[in-house]
Amino acid sequence: MLRILTPYMLVAPLIAFIAVFTYVPIFESVNLSFRHWDFLSSDMPFVGLENYRLLLASRDFWNALTVTAIFALISVPLRLGLAVVIASYLVSETLPSRLLRGALFLPSVTSAVSIAVVFSWVFSTDYGMVNSVLTWLGFGKVAWLQDPQLALWVLIFVNTWKQLGYDIVIYIAGLQAVPQELYDAAAVDGGKRFHVFRRITIPLVMPTTYFLLVISVIEAFQVFTIVNIITHGGPAGATDMLVNLLYRVGFELFDIGRGSALAVLLFIFLIVLALIKSRVIGRRVHYEA
Amino acid sequence: MKRNNPFLTGLALATGLLFLSPVLYSIWMSFQTAHAYYAGGVEFTAGNYLRAVAEYKFARYLLNSIIVSGLVTLLGITIATMAAFAFARFQFRGGNLLFGAAVATLMIPSHISLIPNYLTLAKAGLLDSYAGLILPSVSNGFAAFFLRQYIKGIPKVLDEAAYMDGATPLQVLWRVIVPIAKPAIFSMGLYIFITEWNNYIWPLVAVGKEDFYTLQIGLARLYRINPGEGLVDWPLVMAASTLTILPVLLGFLLVERHLVRGITMGAVK
């Protein structure tokens, strides 16, 4: 009898935590998204799809969706493009390559809050590193974080700086799986470096690219910390991305119903992407085997 | 390994330093007096760190971060290892379904549970407590999945020999599996620790009292309570930021060495 129960007892803690803090909340969010609640009043009337209707009719939502989409559309190709080129240079196991890999990888394990604070200084108008360099070169100061045209670019830059090293490490793993004979053959045929890169490297790391593409889009749609600290969604909503809006509606305006509706929409979108990812990984494993 | 070229090594170092220059400069700045910094001079001081600790309770935040990340890692890795052992070694009714449920959490974006988890912990009276900071982060589907794969690779005859000697499943787990899986458990634990150390959005919603701020929250608040652009006490903020980065930085340098040692050991064998 005890032997039959053993596996259940071993998995029980994990399953209990997952149930309480991951699965039940999904149903709770859906339930709350159909209700009107400001967190303070004792009743939470059922309002059907009203929260969704209000959300989809609000300028904030479409602004956040647009800003997030622009962020993803620019930062993802930028990251992957830079990463594949740098990775193709750093693939060798030499000391310089390992040093540079370490330096580039470091930000991806560093606190996003610290990075956000440091870059708030880097791009600050009066004492910032960037403006100091610009002044030294004879240019005027730029109000990076106060200009709606520029603030989103700053966030794209910071995000790229933070995540690039991770992409490079994954690409290096992908590149190391490429058979060396292909490069040797290209060298024998006198292939030019760019030609080899385009005809051999790019096609052969395609599975890695698919994988990174999907996870970075998923990540881009969840960016929060750097937004919350560097720009707080401003100026004038120019960097108000989806999770920032979710945080504002839920925890600053205490509109639990509409916040939940937004969470549900984000959830559906990200789950679809995650399903694509798991199929991509499946294909990748198949490809390597 | 190819021969080392000093020129390339120098170039790589320079590029790496340039890339990390914002962070390195911020560490340098943290040792400057505010007066000298704004006047464009150089004047070393440990005063920013002393103020962060004395005036802004950063020692307390550091302790909180250590307690929270440490317990999340310990609890998380324990329940993940137990479950991974069960999933790898036992055939039981519903086992595949439960494993599927654990792995599926990898796809579930955490923001869906933000509001409900906040409400659950508010109802339980656990906001502003270590339990409130820790509990929602304890389960880790990825760790369970990763460790199950690893345990599956351990020869089953080892378990069977132990069972023949009259060991219980828990003894097999503790005496046979855990010692062999130690490298995987260690790297998974490290991953959980770093992730939790850097966690921001959950402590942000779960904590209001300063006594329970983690470093991330303390740093964000310190940065924000500064009156505004131009008036930020950057050297003080950078001292706090350095305190927040340092443990992970030291850990990273330490583990880099372990990683290299692991690779060379494998090559020698």
Which residues are CB-neighbours of B245 under 8 A, at least 6 positions away? A110, A111, A114, B23
pLDDT digits (tens, 9 = 90+) for A43-62: 888 888 999 999 999 999 99
Please give the residue that has the higher pLDDT: either A199 or B130: B130
Cα dihedral across residues A139, A154, A69, A242: positive or negative: negative
Rounded to whole angstroms, how far apart are CA atoms B62 and B66?
A: 6
Residue B143 sits at the chain A interface (C-beta within 8 Å): no
For the ranges A6-15, A175-184, A217-226, B162-171, which has the lowest average pLDDT? A175-184
Contact A26, A260 (CB under 8 A): no
Best mutation target, A113, A242, A255, to test chain B (most B CBs within 10 A): A113
Give the helix/strand (H/E) hosting B202: helix B201-206
Rounded to whole angstroms, how far apart are CA atoms B38 and B167?
A: 68
- Degrees (nearest 5) of the Cα angle B69, B71, B77? 95
Rounded to whole angstroms, how far apart are CA atoms A93 and A85?
A: 16
| Neighboring chain B residues of A121 at a CB cutoff of 8 Å | 22, 26, 232, 234, 237-238
**Predicted ipTM > 0.95:** no
Domains of chain A and any CATH numbers: 23-111+151-284 (1.10.3720.10)
Residue B1 sits at the chain A interface (C-beta within 8 Å): yes
pLDDT > 90: percent of chain A: 62
Burial of A219 (0-12, 13-18, 19+ CB in 10 A): middle
- What does R_g of chain B's alpha carbons equal in angstroms? 23
Name the pLDDT band for B100 (thresholds 50, 70, 90). very high
| Neighboring chain B residues of A115 at a CB cutoff of 8 Å | 23
Return the SS3 of B10: helix
pLDDT digits (tens, 9 = 90+) for B196-229: 999 999 999 999 999 999 999 999 999 987 655 5
- Degrees (nearest 5) of the Cα angle A226, A237, A257? 85
In this prediction, residue B264 carries a pLDDT of: 36
Identify the closest residue of chain A to B11 by CA–CA distance: A96
Cβ of B35: how many Cβ atoms within 10 Å?
11
Q: Is B223 in Cβ contact with A22 (below 8 Å)?
A: no
Residue B226 sits at the chain A interface (C-beta within 8 Å): no
Of A8, A13, A125, the CB nearest to B229: A125
| Neighboring chain A residues of B216 at a CB cutoff of 8 Å | 111, 113
Six-digit token string for B254: 């330490």
Mean confidence (pLDDT) of chain B:
88
Identify the closest residue of chain A to B240 by CA–CA distance: A114
Return the SS3 of B106: coil
pLDDT digits (tens, 9 = 90+) for B43-85: 888 889 999 999 899 999 999 999 999 999 999 999 999 999 9
Residue B202 sits at the chain A interface (C-beta within 8 Å): no
HEC string of A75-130 equals HHHHHHHHHHHHHHHHCCCCHHHHHHHHHHHHHHHCCHHHHHHHHHHHCCCCCCHH
Residue A95 sits at the chain B interface (C-beta within 8 Å): yes
In sequence order, the β-bridge partners of residue B44 are B32
Residue A263 sits at the chain B interface (C-beta within 8 Å): yes
pLDDT digits (tens, 9 = 90+) for A202-242: 888 888 898 889 889 999 999 999 999 999 998 999 999 99
Six-digit token string for A92: 């060798």
Domains of chain B and any CATH numbers: 59-214 (1.10.3720.10)
Rounded to whole angstroms, how far apart are CA atoms B118 and B106?
A: 21
HEC string of B144-200 equals HHHHHHHHHCCCHHHHHHHHHCCCCHHHHHHHHHHHHHHHHHHHHHHHHHHHHHCCC
